[in-house]
Structures are given as C-alpha cells and as structure tokens.
Amino acid sequence: MTETSPSCVLFGRVERDTIINAQGKALVDQPGGNLLYAASAYQVWGDVPGLVCRVGSDFPAGWEGNLAAQRLDTRGIVRLDQPYDLRRFIAYSDVITAHKENPIRHFARHDLSFPKSLLGYQAPVELLDSKRERNLLSLRPEDIPAAYYGASAAHLCPLDYYSHRLLPATLREQGTEIVTLDAGRGYMHPDFMAEIPELVNGLTVFMTTEERLLTLFANRTQDIWKLIDTIGSFNCKAVVVHSIHRGQWLLDVEARKRYQIPPYPAALSDITHAGSSFCGGFIAGLLRTQDFLRATLYGNALQSLAMEGSGAFYASDSLPGLAESRLQSLMTAVQEI
C-alpha cells in the first residue's frame, strides 16, 4: 500500500458480515461494516481512502492484506490486544425487511448449510450510547495515524456518541477542512437532544437518516424541513437527510437553499449499509466539486449501485461509466424547495 498521505480519511466499523439476500444467496463471513461500504463507494470517484477503525485480536489473519489489495489504506486499523466479536448476521425476507436473529432458521429456510463461522452467534443488543464512557471500539484521537494528519476531508460513519463527540474537533486541529458526520443510532434519541447542538457545531455537513431524525425529535412533527432547519441552526454548513425510499433532503445553510432529490430507480437486491454507500459517494463528490448539491447527486448515484448487489465492494466493482451515467440522469431530477 502507498505510503503517501490520503486526501480523505474514513472512520467507522469493519465487521464480519454474513448476509442472506432476498434471492436466498448467502455471503458468509465476508469483510463488511459501514466503513467498507463507505470506502467502496468513495473510491469509485476518489483516490485511496485512509481507514480508521478498531478490531479485536481475533480479526481474521490476512484480512488487512485483502483490504489493502482493494486499494484501501489500512494504517489506521487498530488491532486490540483482546478478542472482540465483530460478527454480524442479516437475512432479508424481501428486499427491504431485514432479520438479525436466529440465523439457523434462515439458513434452513433456504436449504443452506449452516456455516461454522456463526456457531454461538448472538445478535448484538441495541442500547442507547453512554454520554460519558467509551467502549472498546470507541475511536480515540490517538487512533489516527500521523500520516493522516491534514487530510483534505474526513467522514465519520455511524459510531457511538463518544467517538463522534471527540473526533471532529481533533480533525480540525490537525488541519482537515472538510468534516462530515453520519449520525449514529445510539444517540439519535430525545435523551440526547441537549448534546446535539455541540456535536453539530463546526461540522461541514451533518448527515442522518429520515428515521433517526424523526426519532431524535420524538416524532413531534412530520415536517422534515422544520427539523432540518433546527439542525442547520446549530452551526454547520449543510444538512443532508437520506432515505432509501425518498431520496435526500439537502439544506445548504450558507446559501440558504433547500433541495430535494428523488432516489435513482435502482433494481434493489441488498440494502445493507446503503446509507454509508451514499455517504462515501457524497464525500468523494464534495472533494471533487466543492458543491453540496452535486455531492448529494454523487452519493445518490453510488447508493443506487450498491443496492443492486451484495457485499461491501459491489459498488467499486461495477462497470466503469455506470455511476457517471446515473449522475447525469439525476441532475435533471433536482427540486429546489
């Protein structure tokens, strides 16, 4: 892998994914997680991204080399001195409905042999994040390699509150001018409403899903634009809300402009980490164009590609020119509100 400094650094989770898609095809114990989906989308239009994440001592031997072979800078992968279960299982009963428990039943339903890699698997329990304590996978400023300091851009995939609270300020201190953040599920909750203004403050772009935004505000209004305006008042340059079904809402705070972009009509196959695929395309587009609207179109196009196949690297393995064709098509679909 190149020893030059990356222009963009991505922060997130790398996991060991086993996925049964809606067609009954199984991908067993493959590199996944939101970080790799974002990286795959980014590199369609970007250069070699730097990765920052934490993995256990039992992270499969050779996987870092495999990631480097995918044109990813792995110098920011921190291997802990203790094991950590990074297995994740998802089975789709249709192209939208995901099931994350009882893998034995889902393999039997498709008459597939149950893989040894899932023996003893228990689905992670989703809890609210701690406001004060970090966990083993929480990213720390010291996890960032010196070679990544001063990167032009950084994107934070959904992580815990501790990671998202500390890293943006550290990145700005190191000279990174563009910092985008996709909010984590564990703190997009009314209990964290008092903490959100400080977290958003100073970001280039705050990003989240429609579902998480509504949850944060306790569903007190269905007017997405009112909620987006509230987030935009917390001192960021832009807000993007993304949805698989409804596309994206973009508030360009500085220009005082609102846009809505419908989703590209993709042939859905697997929606795993579709939002992170969008964000990877977005940050690549923002680096290339310095324009929030065009960056949103880049993300939209890449998300559509990623959802038409399975696996973290499906988007980056797509046919050359396909993403560009979709980008051009989306430019005529923008609605200024």
* Closest by Cα among 96, 101, 154, 95 to 124: 101
User: For tokens 């990813």, what's the residue?
Assistant: 72
- The dihedrals phi and psi of 97, each to the nearest 5 degrees, come to -85, 115
Indicate whether 57 pLDDT > 60: yes
Handedness of CA 314, 320, 325, 331 (dihedral sign): positive
| Contact between 55 and 16 (Cβ < 8 Å) | no
Which of helix, strand or coil describes residue 277? helix
pLDDT score of 224: 95
Q: What is the share, in percent, of the chain residues with pLDDT greater than 70?
A: 99
Indicate whether 2 pLDDT > 80: no
Instruction: Provide the pLDDT confidence category of residue 226 given band limits of 50, 70 and 90.
Output: very high
pLDDT tens by residue, 13-48 = 999 999 999 999 999 999 999 999 999 999 999 899
Spatial CB neighbours of 142, under 8 Å, sequence gap ≥ 6: none
| Contact between 235 and 201 (Cβ < 8 Å) | yes
Tokens of 97: 């409905």
| Contact between 34 and 13 (Cβ < 8 Å) | yes
Of 94-103, 178-187, 216-225, which range is least confident? 216-225
| Contact between 123 and 100 (Cβ < 8 Å) | yes
Average pLDDT score over residue span 4-19: 96
Number of Cβ within a 10 Å radius of residue 70: 17
Q: First vs last Cα of the chain: how many Å apart?
A: 45
User: For tokens 């403050």, what's the residue?
Assistant: 201
Instruction: Provide the pLDDT confidence category of residue 138 given band limits of 50, 70 and 90.
Output: very high
pLDDT score of 320: 77
- The dihedrals phi and psi of 319, each to the nearest 5 degrees, come to -65, 135
pLDDT score of 1: 45
Q: CA angle, 75 as apex, 71 and 78 as ends, to 5°? A: 125
> Looking at domain 8-15+33-55+129-336, which of 3.40.50.720, 3.40.1190.20, 3.40.30.10, 3.40.50.2020 is its CATH number?
3.40.1190.20
| Cα separation values, 332 from 106, 225, 327, Å | 42, 22, 9
Number of Cβ within a 10 Å radius of residue 57: 10
pLDDT score of 223: 92
pLDDT score of 4: 87
Tell me, yes or no, if the pTM score tops 0.75. yes
Domain residue spans of the chain: 8-15+33-55+129-336
| Contact between 302 and 334 (Cβ < 8 Å) | no
Average pLDDT score over residue span 110-127: 94
Buried b (16+ CB within 10 A) or exposed e, 309-319: bbbbbbbbebe
The whole-chain average pLDDT of the chain stands at 95
Number of Cβ within a 10 Å radius of residue 90: 21
Buried b (16+ CB within 10 A) or exposed e, 288-297: eeeebbbbbb
Residue 98 belongs to what H/E stretch? strand 98-99
196 residue type, one letter: I
pLDDT score of 222: 82
pLDDT score of 93: 93
- The dihedrals phi and psi of 239, each to the nearest 5 degrees, come to -130, 135
Instruction: Provide the pLDDT confidence category of residue 303 given band limits of 50, 70 and 90.
Output: very high
pLDDT tens by residue, 189-219 = 999 999 999 999 999 999 999 999 999 999 7
| Contact between 5 and 260 (Cβ < 8 Å) | no
* Alpha carbon distance 28, 180 (integer Å): 31
